[in-house]
Amino acid sequence: MSQLPNCPQCQSTLTYEDGGLFICPECAHEWSQESQPDSAVSEKVVRDANGNVLQDGDSVTVIKDLKVKGASSMLKVGTKVKNIRLVDGDHDIDCKIEGFGAMKLKSEFVKKA
């Protein structure tokens, strides 16, 4: 059995083939194998806790109290973070937070503002 490609828009693995088209049941995106560039498949999609796609420059809000190594205080729920930058790795958001400085956050602990 041949391996079906992931959806180029949402990276879902639940794609199926219908005639000459591939269809994603999660985002309803349709594409053909000929129109699929190889470079788009390797692009990583970062999502927040609610499943929204994050991009460089977005603003996010922290959804959970987070302990900060080396700091005496915690990062509180509702802290707004502006102008994020997406990076590779376990902590996929690089940002500056007022009162804390430069930090790395996991996307699972933020929501898009």
Q: Which residue has the higher pLDDT, 77 or 22?
A: 77
Alpha-carbon gap, residue 21 to 70, rounded angstroms: 52
**Can you tell me the mean pLDDT for 84-97?**
92
Statement: residue 80 has pLDDT above 90: yes
Buried b (16+ CB within 10 A) or exposed e, 18-48: eeeebbbeeeeeebeeeeeeeeeeeeeebeb
| Tokens 């180029």 found at | 8
Q: Percent of the chain at pLDDT above 70?
A: 90
Q: Percent of the chain at pLDDT above 90?
A: 48
pLDDT category of residue 40 using cuts at 50, 70 and 90? very low
How much is the pTM?
Answer: 0.61
